[in-house]
Amino acid sequence: MELNFDKGDGLLPAVIQEFGTNKVLMLGFMNAAAVQQTLETGYVTFFSRSRNKLWVKGESSGHLLKVREVRVDCDEDALVVVAEQLGPGTCHEGYHSCFYRRIEAGNLVIVEPRAFDPEKVYGNSSHSSFPAARPPGQARQE
Amino acid sequence: MELNFDKGDGLLPAVIQEFGTNKVLMLGFMNAAAVQQTLETGYVTFFSRSRNKLWVKGESSGHLLKVREVRVDCDEDALVVVAEQLGPGTCHEGYHSCFYRRIEAGNLVIVEPRAFDPEKVYGNSSHSSFPAARPPGQARQE
């Protein structure tokens, strides 16, 4: 098996799709080591572009993503990882999916309820520097 | 609405998810102009990294992707576009989805039947330079 990491400077986009519902939970990037670790451990591992290191999704929250299937696209430069979500939500903002907002007439509108309280889950860990979340139903106008 | 194009050198990954089935059909990249054109025309438009220009998906085949909803992730650096597929398949190899192969024990195994004959659809257009497809069920060992 050969994957093409060249187009993305050593990184592939990896779509995480929830087993059973087919919902897209998040999108992250993997380098070759992250792909290998994901396949070997059975838990989704990304390469964090901001922290410049491997990152096991859920290592802080316990909301790990357990791999059920890995799909590869025609150009071998993108992955879909079908996974079980071990926890109430994947998003650090407390939502089931990171894609909890929809574009409506140029605004971002929250269209899913919060699944958990990120303060309680992430507490004062490194995730506490994330921006404060807006309540469901509130549009963001920029 | 503000999207963050900085992390991807002016490009965002955009996951195309099929309306109704939630299948992931493909992943492409959009620059700001591609996002704007996608929203304004209602048809998925990417920025082609290999051809360095805007690319309306389906402009050759007629298999356009009609936008139903655009979701934005928490970091505003990835999109999920829910779309109707106007045609039998999205993949230039003749499959319904570009993610027609699964990793099994280090090999890529085709797990979906062909939906159309790419020779008949793309003929001698610019797409004819794509690599020849392998028949369904045949594993690729590399």
ipTM of the complex model:
0.86
8 A C-beta contact, residue B44 and residue B81: yes
Among A38-42, B60-64, B86-90, B119-123, name the one with the lowest average pLDDT. B119-123
A137: left (phi over 0), alpha (psi -120 to 50) or beta: left
Q: What is the mean pLDDT of chain B?
A: 89
Residue B103 C-alpha, separation from nearest chain A C-alpha, in angstroms: 6
With an 8 Å Cβ cutoff, the interface of chain B facing chain A consists of 1-2, 7, 13, 15, 17, 21-24, 26-27, 39, 49-50, 69-76, 78, 80, 91-93, 95, 98-103, 106-108, 140-142
- Nearest-neighbour CA in chain A from B79: distance (Å): 8
Q: Could you tell me where the beta strands, DSSP code E, fall in chain A?
A: 12-18, 24-30, 45-48, 53-56, 65-72, 79-85, 101-104, 107-110, 139-140
**Cβ distance of A74 and B93 shorter than 8 Å:** yes
What pLDDT does residue B71 have?
98
Interval A14-26 mean pLDDT: 97
What gap in Å lies between CA B105 and CA B1, rounded to an integer? 43
Distance CA A44, CA A4 (A): 19
Question: What pLDDT, on a 0 to 100 scale, did the predictor assign at position A140?
Answer: 44
Check residue B123 and give its pLDDT.
Answer: 78
Give me the pLDDT at residue A124, please. 54
